[in-house]
Amino acid sequence: MLRPKSEKLELDGPDLKDPDLYMRNEHHDVFKALRAHEPVYWNPEADAAGFWAVTRYDDVEAISKNPKLFSSAKHMGGHRIFNENEIDENQTDASMISLDPPEHAAYRRMVTPGFVPKRISGMEDRIRGRVTRLLDRLAEKGQNGATVEFVDAVAAALPIEVLAELFGVPDTDGPKLFEWSNATVGEDDPELRVSDDYMRQCIIEMATYAAGLWQNRLAQPGEDLISMLAHSNIPNAEGKAEPMSFPAYIGTFILLVVAGNETTRNSISGGLLALSENPGERAKLLADPSLIPSAVQEIIRWVSPVLHMRRTATEDTEIRGQKIAKGDKVVMWYASANRDEEKWANPFTFDVARYTDPHAATQLGFGVGQHFCLGSRLAELQLRVLFEELLKRFPEIYVSGPVRRLRSNFIAGIKEMPVRLTA
């Protein structure tokens, strides 16, 4: 059905922009209905023209692989539902997530050496050491049946420490990186973004910190991601290679801070919650730990830590027969695509052995196409090592109380999750 494009229309269906929908964990039923009845759904906005919500796997994949027709460029609006180019405070240049080819590929190449398989596999022993230390602390806090808050103790701590290693900074810098990341993605959660002044202060602190790293690595380069950025050349508008600009560096730094911990953190906590709610699946992993790599893929599918990404149509087109006008916002809902009945016979079943089948559809938790997550292998490694050690150490660990979720339409986050180490 062709939807009108006037502003401030009354909704005659669900509002997918509403962050409370995801905080209440009610979105999966909504997406199920949309996939069945209106897989390309017009969602009006109170403060903008509205957007097309794309909920089917094949459509998300096709859009992601066609950047010429569906742009993520900042000047077109960027990768979020809101328009990045209309935010007055946003003085940074676009990061690679808000660039189209060929600029996107040039930025991506700058940090690719930090994520090659040999380098990632070389981090495994250090990651296992970090996991062991975090679990030792968890054991101390959870003695005699005490309740422990798992997110801060483990799920958030591990990826932020790994990010500090990638940046070549001390682990003690981790808490600040964590706070800045929360403020950056938590715009709809009053606990994380206390006020506009607080957000501006976070941006100032993050930019000042990043600038110090930039200057240090220019003088004393190493093998970390900051050094790669500081000493890389990228093509300018005339196609000539020149050093990365400082605003572009700041934009990329913010992206790495967020991407380096949000997806992994929330996959860890969401994965433990899924195992706690599905004890039969946990029993399978305890009986056969070789299933853990498959379980990692299932956890990412199940959690879908990034709920959506947005594109903008560069020409008039159609999706499933629905006319899309040039300039329309098109929002791809990974959380819906990862439960598409056309791809899985039982998408609402958490199945740790699902990915032992070589024909199983690839989960889209890391995206697809040119913007496929550069750090996916590192995230998978952290998840595998964490669950190997966690289940070996605490085979009866379970979620012992209510889970507090992030108020966000972008990140499927868990802020607090109490656990007990034994039944």
Which tens digit of pLDDT belongs to each residue from 135-148?
Answer: 999 999 999 999 99
What share of the chain in percent tops pLDDT 70?
95
* Tokens 């879908």 found at: 304
Q: Please say if the pLDDT value at position 3 is more than 70.
A: no
Give the chain's mean pLDDT: 91
Three-state DSSP state, 48: coil
pLDDT at 101 over 70: yes
Residues 6+ apart with CB under 8 A from 233: 241, 242, 243, 244
Q: How does pLDDT run across 340-363, given as a tens digit for each residue?
A: 999 998 999 999 999 999 999 999
Per-residue pLDDT at 372 exceeds 70: yes
- Residues 111-134: pLDDT tens digits? 888 888 899 999 999 999 999 999
pLDDT at 1 over 60: no
Q: Which helix (H) or strand (E) holds 96?
A: none
Exposure of 339 in the CB half-sphere (CA atoms within 13 A): 21
Are 304 and 316 contacting, i.e. CB atoms less than 8 angstroms apart? Answer: no
Q: Which amino acid appears at position 159 of this protein?
A: P
Domains and CATH numbers, the chain: 85-306+369-420 (1.10.630.10)
Average pLDDT over residues 85-90: 66
* Average pLDDT score over residue span 140-165: 95
CB 9: neighbour CB atoms within 10 A? 16
pLDDT (0 to 100) of residue 143:
94
Percent of the chain residues topping a pLDDT of 90 = 71
User: What is the rounded distance in angstroms from the CA atom of residue 316 to the CA atom of residue 321?
Assistant: 12
pLDDT at 92 over 70: no
Query: Average pLDDT for residues 303-332, to the nearest whole number?
Result: 97
Neighbours of 153 (CB within 10 A): 18
CB 315 within 8 A of CB 85: no
pLDDT in the model for residue 62:
97
State the pLDDT at residue 105.
84
Give the model's pLDDT for residue 9: 47
- pLDDT bin (cut points 50, 70, 90) of residue 94 is low
Angle at Cα 7 formed by Cα 6 and Cα 13, nearest 5°? 90
3-class state of residue 19 by DSSP: helix
Beta-sheet pairing, 308-313 with 51-54: unpaired
Q: What is the mean pLDDT of residues 68-81?
A: 94
How many residues can be counted in the chain? 423
Rg of the chain (C-alpha set): 21
Q: What is the 3-state secondary structure (H, E, C) of 185-210?
A: HCCCCCCCCCCHHHHHHHHHHHHHHH
| Helices 196-219, 246-259: inter-axial angle, 10-degree rounding | 110
366-390 mean pLDDT: 94
pLDDT digits (tens, 9 = 90+) for 15-62: 999 999 999 999 999 999 999 999 999 999 988 889 999 999 999 999
